[in-house]
Amino acid sequence: KRQLYKPKDIVSGDFYWFGEKNGWKIFAVVDCTGHGVPGAFMSMIGHNLMHQIIQEKGNTDPGDILNSLHKGVQESLRQGNNEINTNDGMDVSIIALSNDKKAAKWAGANRPLIIISNDGEFTKIDGNKYPIGGSQFDIKREFTTKTLELSKPSMAYLSSDGYADQFGGDNGKKFMVRRYHDLLMEIHLKDMDAQRELLNAAFETWRNDHEQIDDVLVVGVAL
């Protein structure tokens, strides 16, 4: 795997997590509320919870991991108990790949997964339409695992929303998801280091003299 990681400030609300457990490699991209110090505080909570859920408790199913992460965030911040009023939460894309590369599973909280096969087939898989944590107590959140088809070599992309949301270009507009997807289609066959450099170059060219508005994180995983 390779990642493009561009925090807006010295510390970040985006983080990536990788671990191996019980025959599975698990990659996650997490976009916490905010950036800078508040985002970094949420990132610390998320990183510690991921370690507990996966490495200590041995959970390797992406949907189950997100369900446990949601409970853990709400308990950590005492959300829903009227003790503290915080909307803080996180959006997550998480993939589990078996060590023999014969099976893969994925789940998302407010984030999709992009898969591009080596022969150019583009697939976007939507996650559940709610975040981890936050103030939505009126809905029962159940994060669901999706089994991925591994019939041909492909690249899977997990990302936060910072790349597509960046303002720039000639008219100060957002980069937009469609342009981001088109860029992935252009670069998916290149080696990982080249992909990272091309993603970074395209971002910086677009941004030009505009301020970076959010943390940026893109992770590519070869399936």
pLDDT in tens, 57-67: 999 999 999 99
Identify the pLDDT of residue 81.
60
Categorize the per-residue pLDDT at 139 as very low, low, confident or very high, splitting at 50, 70 and 90: low
pLDDT in tens, 23-45: 999 999 999 987 788 888 889 99
pLDDT in tens, 170-209: 999 999 999 999 999 999 999 999 999 999 999 999 999 9
Cβ–Cβ < 8 Å for 176, 167: no
pLDDT in tens, 45-91: 999 999 999 999 999 999 999 999 999 988 887 766 655 556 788 99
Categorize the per-residue pLDDT at 10 as very low, low, confident or very high, splitting at 50, 70 and 90: confident
Identify the pLDDT of residue 82.
57
Mean pLDDT of the chain: 92
Cβ–Cβ < 8 Å for 213, 203: no
